[in-house]
């Protein structure tokens, strides 16, 4: 067996986390097991890294970094059950599914993450009839802290822990997903007042497959986005309009606007107001994964909090006062999404309908008072921070938010008693 090993500096996509560690690049399940066994015998640690799209330090390695980019192939397609190696990116998964007449029932707004990273951090999209991406998982194969290769399906007692495992239980090597026949979405995007969005949101959520909205700080304006399944792709977005809206305006122009706002923060409220009122409505159809996902090239830091859906008005009402009190300006809109409940122990949506509130700051702009302020609003409401987004919580105050927290820790004690897979972040959030 050849074990490519070297030492490299790693930086995440948001460029707010970095480390230097030895790099392990296994090319097979057996190589993963052998590397873990050797590390366990030597008393060393391994942290697995996907595409680096988490803003927390969940993937920061302080000893050895295992990268699964070579484990990126399809394993099998059997009806609606699709098994892939865990290092496959969501973009490649979407292409694989499309070739087989299939699709993920829901997706987030980017497709750069690996399958393992997306499910392990409970990545989600929006839609009250859907939960996190991990809710689509039917089975996982992982290598535990002893080097044992284990497969857990929905009948396994370990499964509710392993499907959203935070990288704390072992190294995921294969994932089986329950997919659906490919489908077309009609996207309806429209600018509105925030008051009108809030007045209608409880009607739109059950009447549509996917609903989300964006609020522009320092304004009373918002943008509503509704996606609904339709029979035909009869209104595709013209290529120029798609390039103009999703590439040029959302990336190139927005990058420039954020750079100006970083240098001259006093212009931010006026620019936000202009941007919110310059938005035009659009309606188009497309394959589901093309409507769900879009390019995101403007770098930022992010916090996202899940709260019980009924608590959303309280947080939205308080956000303008929080933002006005900050010693800096907020350029990014606040994103709000909705999901239904699932039964995975460390899923943010465990056992309840959820609203997610995501706040961002442009790279190089202060964010801590903003993010801590949002956390102070959400935590007393039972809020749960996204595992891949910045937060300041610890095991002591996370335990009450997750009814099965101690059950998860018991599975961790069983699968990784020597803590081969821990790091400072996991020590903080799991104890």
Q: What length is written for the chain?
A: 431
CB neighbour list of residue 48: distance below 8 Å, 6 or more residues apart = 59, 65, 66, 67, 68, 116, 167, 171, 172, 421
The closest alpha carbon to 140, from 150, 126, 130, belongs to: 150
> Is 80 exceeded by the pLDDT of residue 278?
no
Give Cα separations from 280 to 191, 208, 222, 277, 347 (angstroms): 7, 21, 12, 8, 36
Q: Concatenated DSSP letters for 260-275?
A: HHHH-GGGHHHHHHHH
List the single range of 56-60, 239-243, 257-261, 324-328 with lowest mean pLDDT: 239-243
Mean predicted lDDT score pLDDT of the chain:
95
Q: 5-66, what's its fold?
A: 3.30.43
Strand 81-85 versus strand 221-230 pairing type? unpaired
CB neighbour list of residue 121: distance below 8 Å, 6 or more residues apart = 54, 58, 164, 166, 386, 387, 388
- Look up residue 413 and give its two tokens: 């004690």
Position 280 scores a pLDDT of: 84
When comparing pLDDT for 243 and 247, which is higher? 247
Q: What is the pLDDT of residues 77-117, one digit of tens each?
A: 999 999 999 999 999 999 999 999 999 999 999 999 999 99
Q: 70-181+396-430, what's its fold?
A: 3.30.465
Q: Is 345 helix (H, G, I), strand (E, B) or coil?
A: coil
- Look up residue 228 and give its two tokens: 């609904």
Residue position matching structure tokens 């390039």: 243
CA distance 92 to 86: 12
Position 390 scores a pLDDT of: 98
Position 291 scores a pLDDT of: 96
Q: What is the pTM of this model?
A: 0.95
pLDDT tier, 239 (very low <50, low <70, confident <90, very high otherwise): confident
Q: 184-394, what's its fold?
A: Vanillyl-alcohol Oxidase; Chain A, domain 3 (3.40.462)
Residue position matching structure tokens 């050895």: 64
Q: What is the pLDDT of residues 143-199, one digit of tens each?
A: 999 999 999 999 999 999 999 999 999 999 999 999 999 999 999 999 999 999 999
pLDDT tier, 4 (very low <50, low <70, confident <90, very high otherwise): very low
Q: Is 288 helix (H, G, I), strand (E, B) or coil?
A: helix
- Please compute Rg for the chain using Cα positions: 21
Domain ranges of the chain: 5-66, 70-181+396-430, 184-394
The closest alpha carbon to 185, from 209, 212, 201, 214, belongs to: 209
Q: What is the pLDDT of residues 29-44, one digit of tens each?
A: 999 999 999 999 999 9
- Look up residue 254 and give its two tokens: 């927005």
Percent of the chain topping pLDDT 70: 97
CA distance 174 to 142: 7
Position 41 scores a pLDDT of: 97
> Is 50 exceeded by the pLDDT of residue 56?
yes
């Amino acid at each position: 067996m050849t074990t490519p090993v070297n030492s490299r500096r790693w930086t995440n996509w948001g460029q707010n986390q970095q480390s230097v560690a030895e790099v392990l690049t296994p090319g097979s399940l057996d190589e993963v097991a052998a590397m873990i066994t050797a590390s366990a015998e030597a008393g060393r640690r391994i942290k697995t890294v996907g595409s680096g799209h988490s803003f927390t330090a969940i993937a920061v390695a302080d000893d050895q970094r295992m990268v699964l980019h070579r484990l990126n192939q399809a394993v099998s397609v059997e009806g609606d059950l699709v098994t892939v190696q865990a290092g496959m990116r969501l973009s490649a998964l979407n292409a694989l599914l499309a070739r087989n007449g299939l699709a993920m029932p829901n997706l987030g707004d980017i497709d750069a993450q690996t399958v393992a990273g997306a499910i392990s951090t409970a990545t989600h999209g929006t839609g009250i009839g859907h939960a996190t991406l991990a809710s689509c998982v039917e089975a996982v194969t992982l290598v535990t802290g002893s080097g044992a290769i284990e497969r857990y399906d929905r009948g396994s007692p370990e499964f509710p822990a392993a499907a959203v495992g935070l990288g704390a239980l072992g190294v995921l090597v294969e994932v089986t997903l329950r997919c659906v026949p490919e489908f077309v979405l009609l996207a309806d995007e429209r600018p509105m007042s925030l008051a009108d969005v809030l007045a209608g949101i409880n009607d739109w959520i059950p009447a549509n497959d996917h609903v989300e909205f964006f609020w522009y700080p320092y304004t009373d304006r918002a943008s509503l986005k509704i996606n609904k399944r339709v029979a035909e792709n009869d209104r595709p977005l013209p290529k120029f309009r798609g390039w103009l809206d999703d590439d040029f305006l959302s990336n190139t122009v927005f990058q420039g606007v954020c750079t100006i706002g970083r240098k001259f923060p006093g212009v931010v409220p006026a620019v936000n107001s202009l941007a919110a009122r310059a938005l035009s409505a659009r309606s188009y159809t497309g394959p589901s994964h093309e409507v769900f996902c879009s390019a995101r090239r403007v770098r930022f830091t992010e916090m996202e909090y899940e709260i019980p859906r009924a608590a959303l008005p309280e947080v939205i009402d308080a956000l303008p006062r929080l933002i006005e009190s900050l010693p800096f300006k907020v350029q990014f809109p606040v994103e709000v999404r909705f999901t239904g409940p699932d039964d995975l122990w460390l899923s943010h949506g465990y056992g309840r309908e959820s609203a997610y509130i995501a706040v961002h700051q442009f790279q190089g702009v202060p964010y801590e008072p903003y993010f801590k302020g949002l956390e102070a609003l959400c935590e007393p409401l039972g809020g749960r921070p996204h595992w891949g987004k910045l937060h300041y919580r610890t095991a002591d105050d996370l335990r009450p938010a997750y009814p099965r927290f101690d059950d998860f820790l018991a599975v961790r004690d069983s699968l990784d008693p020597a803590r081969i897979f821990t790091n400072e972040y996991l020590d903080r959030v799991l104890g």
